[in-house]
């Protein structure tokens, strides 16, 4: 597989293709300045990113759309050069709700289509206007659905997902790794007792060898084995840094050494929804 900054799309079995690195855009809405998401998306497009990962839930999808439309108007990219992935939130999992939710996303983006639309959480919540519905006692209001769906997968050197990767590769299924840098460690939904990925000694040692950062080594590891990564950053230097992963190659031994770091550490555990009947992380994949 040849990957370069100018051409790093993975073919999909339906004839489409997906750029192997995308910019993640989730950032706590209360802690994020207005406009920062749009600026970050524009910096990313200028840096060479052609894949943006977003969601209606993130409350900044309008900024993603604004940035994409601006870059298209400027002539920097055409719509078809950019891959946008949107997400269906857990309160809209009933089949008749899917289309209106997607249409809302398109309206917010002011775009004609998304390239991928995935289920954000494989656990349904009570439909309605509340994003995180609870009853008067503060108990989560779950909802029953017939879930037969794709699930995007956390994947990084501490959670390498060998079994799932093997299964998907055998069936020509591309994996998109969320939290490829080990997350922003928000204790609301992340198990922060697990060690921070980017402080790992081997990732830093290899970084020294290649004059790269631990983050770049972690990202390179995944793309070199055909896994799409969507690192989130709204910091201009780090947005660019995370894209500088096409000008070096890890050796086979180094790939094995990184693979051996696997600790089955899942950062995004979402333990608050552990009693949901569809809670997905009790099962081995």
Which positions lie near ligand A2P, rule CB under 6 A? 24, 179-184, 198, 213, 215, 231-235, 238, 241-242
- Min dist CB 273 to ligand A2P, Å, is 19
- Min dist CB 197 to ligand A2P, Å, is 8
Q: Name the residue nearer to ligand A2P (CB basis): 44 or 102.
A: 44
Own/partner contacts of 15-19, CB < 8 Å, gap of 24 or more, are 16/115, 18/51, 18/83, 18/115, 18/116, 18/174, 18/176, 18/228, 19/49, 19/50, 19/51, 19/83, 19/228
- Min dist CB 186 to ligand A2P, Å, is 9
Asked if residues 221 and 3 have their Cβ atoms less than 8 Å apart, the reply is no
**Pairing state of beta strands 153-154 and 116-119?**
unpaired
- What count of Cα atoms within 13 Å lies in the side-chain half-sphere of residue 7? 3
Q: How far apart are CA 101 and CA 265, in angstroms?
A: 33
- Min dist CB 79 to ligand A2P, Å, is 25
Secondary structure, 3-state, 128-195 = CCCCCCECCCCCECECCCCCCCCCCEECECCECCHHHHHHHHHCCCCCEEECCCCCCCCCCCECCCCC
Active site residue 158: no
- Min dist CB 179 to ligand A2P, Å, is 4
Residue 259: partners with Cβ closer than 8 Å, 6 or more residues away:
157, 160, 162
Q: Name the residue nearer to ligand A2P (CB basis): 48 or 127.
A: 48
Q: Name the residue nearer to ligand A2P (CB basis): 93 or 217.
A: 217
Q: Name the residue nearer to ligand A2P (CB basis): 102 or 175.
A: 175
Catalytic residue among 49, 56, 58, 117: 58
Residue 15: partners with Cβ closer than 8 Å, 6 or more residues away:
none
Distance of CA 255 to the CA centre of its chain: 22
Q: Name the residue nearer to ligand A2P (CB basis): 61 or 241.
A: 241
Catalytically active residues are: 58
């Amino acid at each position: 597989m040849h990957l370069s900054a100018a051409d790093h799309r993975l073919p999909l079995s339906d004839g489409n293709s997906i750029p192997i690195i995308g910019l993640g855009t989730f950032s706590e809405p209360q802690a994020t300045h207005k406009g920062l998401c749009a600026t970050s998306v524009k910096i990313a497009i200028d840096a060479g990113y052609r894949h943006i990962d977003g969601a209606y839930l993130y409350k900044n999808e309008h900024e993603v759309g604004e940035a994409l439309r601006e870059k298209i108007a400027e002539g920097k990219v055409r719509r078809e050069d950019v891959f946008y992935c949107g997400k269906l939130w857990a309160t809209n999992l009933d089949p008749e709700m899917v289309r209106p939710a997607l249409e809302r996303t398109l309206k917010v983006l002011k775009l004609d289509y998304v390239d991928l639309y995935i289920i954000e959480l494989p656990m349904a919540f009570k439909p309605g206007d509340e994003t995180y519905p609870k009853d008067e006692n503060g108990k989560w209001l779950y909802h029953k659905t017939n879930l037969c769906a794709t699930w995007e997968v956390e994947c990084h050197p501490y959670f390498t997902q060998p079994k799932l990767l093997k299964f998907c590769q055998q069936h020509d299924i591309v994996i998109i790794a969320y939290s490829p840098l080990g997350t922003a460690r928000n204790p609301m939904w992340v198990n922060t007792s697990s060690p921070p990925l980017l402080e790992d000694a081997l990732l830093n040692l290899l970084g020294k060898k290649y004059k790269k950062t631990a983050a770049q080594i972690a990202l390179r590891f995944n793309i070199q084995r055909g896994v799409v990564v969507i690192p989130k950053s709204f910091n201009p230097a780090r947005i660019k840094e995370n894209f500088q992963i096409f000008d070096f190659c890890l050796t086979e031994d180094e790939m094995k050494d990184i693979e051996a770091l696997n600790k089955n550490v899942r950062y995004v555990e979402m333990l608050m929804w552990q009693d949901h009947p569809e809670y997905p992380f009790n099962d081995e994949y």
